[in-house]
Every structure is written in structure tokens, then in C-alpha cells.
Structure 1
Amino acid sequence: MSARLVLCACPDAATAAALGRALVDARLAACATVLPGATSIYRWEGRIEEAQEAVLLIKTWADRVEALAERIRAEHPYELPEVVAVEAAGGLAGYLAWIHAETRTTDTPAA
């Protein structure tokens, strides 16, 4: 099993939705879920910051994470966007197969 859940904070729900749509359209993700209303507290450039954000939960396959991260970096408005990939330890077999199938392109080998 090589499914991944990628977390990405965005400045607002509209930005998260546009990014999620681009990732799914490019088959870098099978699904992107926008969770608006998140409060992020973090240290940036020596100061503790707090921001209202929307979190994007991206479902993809391990062999797509690198390209997905590059696409996020290219399109995200933040200087250093959050891209954290977590390996799925389990899940519904049919759903995991769907993630795999939806992240295949004609130039992506079957895993």
C-alpha cells in the first residue's frame, strides 16, 4: 500500500479549492478536501504568528508526491507552503485502489 495523505494550509478556502482542483485535474491527486476555518499558530522569521487558514487534505499515491509538491510550490501564494505527506497505514481497499487509479496518467507506470 502506498497511499498518502498530504496536508497543505492555504490562506483561504477559495485558494485551497483552486489548488485542489488543479491537483485533481492534473491527476496528481485523486481527491482534495477543503477544511475552512483553521487557526494556525506558528513561528516564522523569529516571531510567533497566528493566521486564519483553510487546510487542504490531499489524497494521492506515493509516486505522485514529488510532482504534487512541485505543483503546490509553483501555484501556492506562500513563500514556503506546507506540504506534509503522511503514509496511509490502512484503509478501505476499494478506496485505496480508487486513489491509485485516479492518480495514473498515460505516462505514469502502474505500481
Structure 2
Amino acid sequence: MRVLMAACTATRRCGALAANPARHFACACHGPRSAMPLPRAGSVPAPLATPARRTWHVAGRPASVPRAMSGGAAGPDGTSFVACYVTVPSQDVAEKIAGPLLEQRLAACVNIIPGVQSMYWWQGKVEKDAELLLMIKTRASLVDKLTEAVVALHPYDVCEVISVPITGGNPPYLTWVADSTSAGAAQ
């Protein structure tokens, strides 16, 4: 095995070798995948760049991608949903933010998850803090209003508010999210 590892030109940059030498040869630096060039930042791989190769639905997704996996509508009325993530410094701040989001119907549910360790760049150096994570389920159409509300209530100079599409889920739960946030969407 030492001979094979020495022959690999990628061992110095391959995380698989450091993490688990036995799995190193299944990683991306070996086999046919390494022969494929990676796209430059901002470029699109050739198969996706050629419109003739894809059949597109009117909803703006490839016909081969199921609706529930495209980040599109999963609700009964075509409503799209997201999970928003917000980090906070304390339980008090978490509740101070969660309460108004629920009262204003900008969120159907806010999970307050303790025990998060955050490491991040701030003012030129790496910081480390104990935080809590809010996982907020809502409609995609409410993200801007939700973000404004969080920023107004949050103590950080630059607070994290990010959202990711919910691409599927339990239909009764998604119906409940839609019903719970319908008043927020009407505002």
C-alpha cells in the first residue's frame, strides 16, 4: 500500500488520505472521475450549457426533475416552502425572535436548537462562540419579511439569516405550514 500511496500525486491535497487511508483510493483523485476537468468558478459544465440537450418544463426546471425535488411547490395550492436558519447568542434572544415571528404568522414553527459551536471570520480574525440555532419553517414568499423582522430584533451587527428550499415532505405537515402562515402572506 505504501507504494500505491507514494504514486498518488494528490496525496498532499487529498482529505480522504488524512481522514482514512483505506478509503483514499475511492476518493475523487483516483479513477475515471479525475480525468474530467472541473468547471471554472462561474462557468457551467457543457452538458448544461447547451439548451438543445435539455427539455424544460414551463415551471423552469428540467423535465427530468420531479416537481417535489426542484425546490418548487410542495403545498396543496402550489406554495413553496423554505427552512430559514438563524444563529443567536442565548435562549432569551432565541425566544425574543421566535415569538414575534410566530405572532405575525411569518413562521409556522421555530425550532430552538442548543449546543451549536460556531467558528467564523470577524474583523480579520477567526472567532469561536457557543450559540443556538433557530430552524424556521415558512413560505418562500415570506423570506424577505422574515429577514427584516429578524434583523430588527437581533443583537448582532451582521446576523445570519439564510434559507434553503424544502423540496418535499409530509403533505399534511406542509399543508399545516401553509395554513399557519397564510395570514403572514396576506399582510
- For the aligned pair, the TM-score class normalised by the smaller chain equals over 0.9
Contact 2:96–2:153 at 8 Å: present in 1 too? no
User: Greater CA radius of gyration, 1 or 2?
Assistant: 2
Q: Deviations over 1:9-65 (max 9, x none)?
A: 000122112211110111000000100111100001111000010100000001111
Matches within 5 A, 1:1-111: 1=73, 2-105=80-183, 108=186
What TM-score, normalized to structure 1? 0.93
Unpaired segments ≥5 residues, structure 1? none
| Alpha-carbon RMSD | 1.4
After TM superposition, which residue ranges in structure 1, 4 or more long, deviate above 3 angstroms?
none
What TM-score, normalized to structure 2? 0.56
Q: 1:107 to 1:6 in 2, by over 3 A?
A: closer
Bigger share in helix: 2
Bigger share in strand: 1
CA distance in 1, matches of 2:159, 2:84: 12
Identity of aligned residues (%): 35
Contact 1:13–1:35 at 8 Å: present in 2 too? no
Task: Tell me: higher relative CO, structure 1 or 2? Use CA pairs within 8 A at least 6 residues apart.
Answer: 1
CA distance in 2, matches of 1:41, 1:107: 35
